[in-house]
């Protein structure tokens, strides 16, 4: 079994070093709004996530997150491939030619991504306009699309023949003269209501609405996030956010393009090997142990909040 990644990880919303609580809370709002777009149940055309980036000091910069390279993860093999793609995108953004680039992320059992994802970057006058698009393309569909797009790249890209190369090599491209990138991608990748909604600006308006919803929900629960003690409590408060969104009309997928929901993680706890769950955030102070019987091995040993002993935690941590 692969390692499932949480789609909505509230532990990453805690203040970072030299970050104020207000800035961390705003970052949480923006991140949650993106999850409301991408991880929601519903038709693909309603799940495009629009956002903007800038180049600052030669690095990709988000006004609420800061330098994006500070958030790169390197816990899995897939992370390494995606990090390589990130730096290629950053190099392209500094050059600014051609004006459009697509990064294709195929489905991955390895990290629990059941859908593919395309991220399109378009260099504007003062910023980079970005759209993360969820897709039902399988690996072969993604490779076929990449093969067509490479032919329109001014760079001397090698033929992308594997999902690993697809994940680590973004594709800068130039549509034929007189054709918009939206029309070009629709022609290359097939008709979809996704393209119609982008032309109509629906993705931009949807992001604005979801930012308002995220601000309300995060504002209501951020004190719980800040005071959560240990990983289990973060899963619980993450599930509360998901349920609050559901009460307002947006239900989270159990498993989607960004990973698994907190609700799914809690249902499957003890079966899923959740990425990071026993890793970076674990400490003796935040993870209290008490005498009890381990629900995994059945031995009478000190166990944590989920009634799992330290030895069995290590099995989950290392995917054993």
pLDDT at position 1 over 50: no
pTM value is 0.80
Average pLDDT, integer, range 91-101: 95
Question: Coil, helix or strand for 155?
Answer: coil
Task: Give per-residue pLDDT as tens, 235-263.
Answer: 999 999 999 999 999 999 888 777 788 98
pLDDT at position 301 over 80: yes
Provide DSSP, 212-246: HHHHHHHHHHHHHHHH--SHHHHHHHHHHHHHHHH
pLDDT at position 154 over 90: no
Banded model confidence at residue 307, pLDDT cuts 50, 70, 90: low
Banded model confidence at residue 167, pLDDT cuts 50, 70, 90: very high
Task: Give per-residue pLDDT as tens, 265-293.
Answer: 887 654 444 444 444 344 433 456 788 88
Q: How many CB atoms lie within 10 A of CB 1?
A: 10
Percent of the chain with pLDDT over 90: 63
pLDDT at 314 (0 to 100): 57
Banded model confidence at residue 226, pLDDT cuts 50, 70, 90: very high
Q: Rounded to 10 degrees, what is the CA torsion of 221, 223, 229, 232?
A: 10
Pairing of strands 128-135, 259-260: unpaired
Cα(4)–Cα(277) distance, integer angstroms: 10
pLDDT at 313 (0 to 100): 63
Task: Give per-residue pLDDT as tens, 25-79.
Answer: 999 999 999 999 999 998 999 999 999 999 999 999 999 999 999 999 888 899 9
Q: Rounded to 10 degrees, what is the CA torsion of 169, 175, 181, 187?
A: -90
- Alpha carbon 88 to its chain's center: 18
pLDDT at 273 (0 to 100): 45
pLDDT at 258 (0 to 100): 77
pLDDT at 16 (0 to 100): 93
């Amino acid at each position: 079994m692969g390692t499932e990644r949480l789609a909505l990880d509230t532990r990453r919303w805690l203040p970072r070093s030299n970050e104020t609580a207000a800035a961390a809370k705003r970052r949480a709002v923006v991140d949650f709004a993106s999850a409301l777009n991408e991880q929601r149940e519903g038709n693909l055309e309603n799940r495009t996530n629009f956002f903007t980036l800038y180049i600052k000091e030669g690095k990709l910069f988000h006004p609420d997150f800061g330098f994006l390279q500070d958030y790169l993860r390197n816990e899995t093999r897939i992370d390494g491939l995606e990090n390589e793609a990130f730096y290629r995108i950053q190099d392209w953004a500094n050059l600014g030619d051609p004006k459009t680039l697509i990064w294709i992320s195929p489905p991955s059992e390895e990290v629990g991504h059941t859908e593919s994802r395309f991220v399109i970057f378009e260099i504007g006058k003062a910023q980079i306009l970005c759209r993360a698009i969820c897709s039902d393309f399988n690996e072969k569909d993604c490779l076929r699309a990449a093969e067509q797009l490479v032919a329109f790249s001014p760079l001397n890209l090698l033929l992308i023949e594997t999902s690993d190369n697809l994940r680590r090599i973004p594709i800068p491209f130039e549509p034929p003269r007189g054709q918009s990138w939206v029309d070009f991608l629709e022609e290359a990748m097939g008709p979809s209501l996704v393209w119609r909604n982008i032309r109509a600006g629906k993705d931009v308006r949807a992001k604005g609405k979801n930012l308002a919803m995220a601000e309300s929900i995060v504002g209501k629960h951020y004190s719980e996030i800040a005071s959560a003690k240990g990983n289990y409590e973060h899963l619980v408060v993450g599930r509360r956010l998901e349920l609050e969104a559901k009460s307002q009309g947006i239900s989270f997928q159990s498993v989607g393009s960004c990973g698994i929901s907190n609700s799914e993680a809690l249902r499957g706890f003890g079966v899923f090997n959740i990425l990071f769950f026993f890793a970076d955030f674990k400490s003796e102070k935040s993870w209290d142990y008490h005498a009890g019987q381990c629900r995994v091995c059945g031995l009478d040993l000190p166990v944590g909040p989920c009634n799992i002993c330290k030895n069995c935690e290590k099995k989950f941590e290392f995917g054993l």
